[in-house]
Amino acid sequence: MKNTWIVLAILLLAACADDHFSTSSPAVTDEIRMAYPKFASHFAAALTDGEYEAAFEMLSSDMQREYPADKLGNRFEAMVEYGDSPAKVDGFIQTMEDWPDKKPDDVGWAYVSISGDDYAEAVAVVVSVGDYGMSISSIEWGRP
């Protein structure tokens, strides 16, 4: 009988641990689906405004390891350095909610156009959702 209780206690602890450390994605709500293009646009605006620390804070933890704020700024500036005028988000955003490599935490993909008087560029980002809300989990620099 004592061994039965031990086995039951172990099973109960294992069940609790699975719930606590679950890697399943939080539910993506309609509100999040509607908000991710604006989130992507805010990320691009932080870049064009030179607010690299704010843009960094919008990255997923994996992306933060890849792009510390100074590297993020350097990468953006290298993309637009050939232009003679300041970069700005020009309002063109294209979105996609389904693609072949979409992961369970991904909400959507957004292409955000960035331009100056004499050039046009863009960032294409994947917006994902996690325990702390939306974050940028992938960046493609420049227009295709």
* CATH number of the CATH domain containing 79: 3.10.450.100
Q: Which two tokens stand for residue 115?
A: 């331009």
Q: 16 lies in a domain? A: no
| Residue 21 domain flag | no
For the chain, what is the domain count? Answer: 1
Residue 13 domain-assigned (yes or no)? no
Q: Is residue 42 part of a domain?
A: yes
Contact 69, 52 (CB under 8 A): yes
Task: Read off the tokens for 24.
Answer: 């399943």
Within the chain, strands assigned E span 88-96, 106-116, 119-130, 133-141
10 Cβ contact partners less than 8 Å away, ≥ 6 residues apart = none
Report CA torsion sign: 135, 139, 143, 144. negative
Q: What is the pTM of this model?
A: 0.80
Q: Is residue 85 domain-resident? A: yes
Residue-number span of the structural domain to which 66 is assigned: 27-141
Predicted confidence (pLDDT) per residue in 15-41, tens digit? 333 333 333 355 688 899 999 999 999
Report residue 127 as tokens: 């917006």
Establish if 128 belongs to a structural domain: yes
Domain assignment of residue 117, yes or no: yes
- The answer to whether residue 12 is domain-embedded is no
* Cα–Cα distance, 39 to 30 (Å, whole number): 14
Average pLDDT, rounded, for the chain: 85
pLDDT digits (tens, 9 = 90+) for 131-140: 889 999 999 9
